[in-house]
Amino acid sequence: MCGLLGLICASENDAVKARDAVGAALRCQRHRGPDETDTWADAEVVYGFNRLAFIDVEHAHQPLVWGPPESPRRYTLNFNGEIYNYRELREQLIAEHDAKFATEGDGEAIVAAYHYWGPGAVGRLRGMFAFLLWDADEKVLYGARDPFGIKPLYYAAGPGGTAFSSEKKSLLELSEVLGTRETLDTRALQHYLTLQYVPEPESLHTDIRRIESGTSFTVSPGGQLTSERYFFPQFTARPVHGPAAQKALYDRIADVMRDSVAKHMIADPDITVGSFLSGGIDSTAIAALAKELNPNLIAFTTGFEREGYSEVDVAAESAAAIGVKHVIRTVSAEEMMDALPLIVWYLDDPVADPALVPLWFIAREARKHVKAVLSGEGSDELFGGYTIYREPLSLAPFEKVPGGVRKLLGKVSDRIPEGTRGKDLLRRGALKLEDRYYGNARIFLDHQLKGVLRTFSERVGHQDVTAEHYRTSAGWDPVARMQHVDLFTWLRGDILVKADKVTMANSLELRVPFLDAEVFKVAAGIPLEEKITKETTKYALRRALEGIVPAHVINRRKLGFPVPIRLWLRDEMYDWARGIIVESQTDALLDKQAVLRMLEEHRTGPLDHSRRIWALVVFMLWHGIFVEHRIKPEVPEPAYPVKI
């Protein structure tokens, strides 16, 4: 895993001139790859690369130049990620085309696959990746991002050319070279305050966008970027009839997970891979399967010294049961407040998920011991794990109510005071799935946002983000449609952004075995009744993991990594939050008096505004760093081991 930066210039001979600027812009993502830093340029393209080395450390350097015997320097690769099936691809390329390789790394497999199999080769890659591939013969830059969006890829286009980067801050550094603006996107801001993240392909800067997950693209010097989707996830349930068919399904799940974990532990012999461990089934399964391959596995857990907000005790019991060394890092409110500005700098765009702060601390702790960790992200989206996926069962009676009556129930809900039990059930029951579900987080509803966001527009809504995915999933069962929406919104907008940014901030590679092409093939065929029941979620996965995961975890209810900000914002964090609000220079965007009233209402109770306040505070910190340039976090130089 690494940090890449690439610029394809608008005209020839500009790349060499831009090489120093790219090298300078590369420095602000040094944390992504402190092992090696290098730049490369020809007449049209300049690359910059920070390497965090795992495979063929001695020889697989980047940028990587490769070509067939007749044109040995035709291609130059800039690649962030890991290809877990690269050995199989290399063997196939040698057998079919007598392909030649100079290293034992996975990067050459990407280039050779593209050369011999064409753009369709990207669909054969099993792994996490974002890459740029310059074809000097055809004068075209080809690139792609992995199917689920595990690895980030931003881009900006202006009169000076088109640039791509693992981190947005590097593109901001290149704005003068590109001729791009640093204008705040108020539409993206409204989406952020609704969803708690900025949805793809947007960013909070109008001239910087993101290559979407599962997408490839091409661009030539002076030309426009064109992209196309190569990954089309389909939840196509296959019926399961009888105990024998059930057992076969559970066996397939266990087998594909065991294979995926093995693939995700690939690294040179002297590099150690650990595992994150919470109190839930997902990370426990990953750790247990990894322990089968590495008897000396180290697992890492974070939590809080507050009852009801920590899974440390359950994780410790799991660690003892599966026999792994266990490292625990508890986090205080004071530590969260001190660290948040630096974490927001690493994020590039605000993500209002409080769980990313303790994740940052456990990543720092893990980097003292290992260079990569496995984690359980993606299980809920693939296997049906979120509690809200049971909502279609609870709202089923509303489906029998005539449309006019349902609308009336919605109006009744509007008149019920905020915080009253049953208000949200009525509101949601009155809506169709497409109108009520737009992912796991709902921060501000429109009527709440109107009183806070000065740039609020009725023409901006969650349908901008979800409508296409509902069209694609028309005819599927409601849970499959919710999973599909989450794959394109919540997963790649929140879960994977925080996973990548806060681990890479600590020069730690995070690998996610659930988000694997082969795992998805199995998970996508699971029928509704094997995902959601009246009693539990992820039913088939739980049954498949019996005997692998300790019994005390198998049927444990998902907590979702709760962070005690509701309590802290009434006590330890109150003055801190108030100071950020008062000092913020966001008056043109936000009604700060309304925000302060919200903070006071939360402090005195009974209303819980904690998630909305947190979203606003995170944005104000982001604005102070990237717009006002008033807040300047002290960014540490990456070091091994990471020191606190």
Give the annotated binding-site residues for L-glutamine.
106
* Catalytic residue of the set 2, 113, 253, 465: 2
Beta strand pairing call for 154-158 and 161-165: antiparallel
Alpha-carbon torsion (567, 631, 26, 114), positive or negative: positive
Is 2 one of the annotated active-site residues of the chain? yes
Whether the link from the prior residue into 72 is cis, omega within 30° of 0, is no
* H, E, C per residue of 516-575: CHHHHHHHCCCCHHHCCCCCCCCHHHHHHCECCECHHHHCCCCCCCCCCHHHHCCCCCHH
Rg (CA), the chain: 24
Q: Which residues contact 88 (CB under 8 A, 6 or more apart)?
A: none
Bridge partners of residue 216, in order along the sequence: 144, 228
How far, in Å, CA of 238 to CA of 524, rounded?
A: 9
Q: At what angle do helices 463-472 and 186-195 cross, to 10 degrees?
A: 70
Q: Is the dihedral of CA 343, 345, 349, 352 positive or negative?
A: positive
Residue 29 and residue 505: Cα distance in Å, rounded? 9
Residue ranges at the known binding site: 106, 375-376
Helix (H, G, I), strand (E, B) or coil at 367: coil
The gap between the terminal CA atoms of the chain, to the nearest Å, is 22
Which single residue is written with the structure tokens 């975890």? 553
Annotated binding site for ATP: 375-376
- Alpha-carbon distance 635 to 252, whole Å? 46
How many Å apart are CA 375 and CA 372, to the nearest integer?
Answer: 10
Dihedral over Cα of 215, 185, 172, 592: its sign:
negative
* Per-position DSSP letters for 146-209, written without gaps between them: -TT--S--EEEEETTEEEEESSHHHHHHTHHHHT----B-HHHHHHHHHHSSPPTT--SBTTEE
Residue 448 Cα distances to 45, 140, 193, 351, 353, angstroms: 47, 48, 10, 19, 19
Helix (H) or strand (E) holding 215, with range, is strand 215-219
Q: Which residues contact 142 (CB under 8 A, 6 or more apart)?
A: 114, 119, 132, 133, 135, 216, 217, 218
Backbone angles phi, psi at 640, to 5 degrees: -115, 125
Active-site amino acid positions: 2
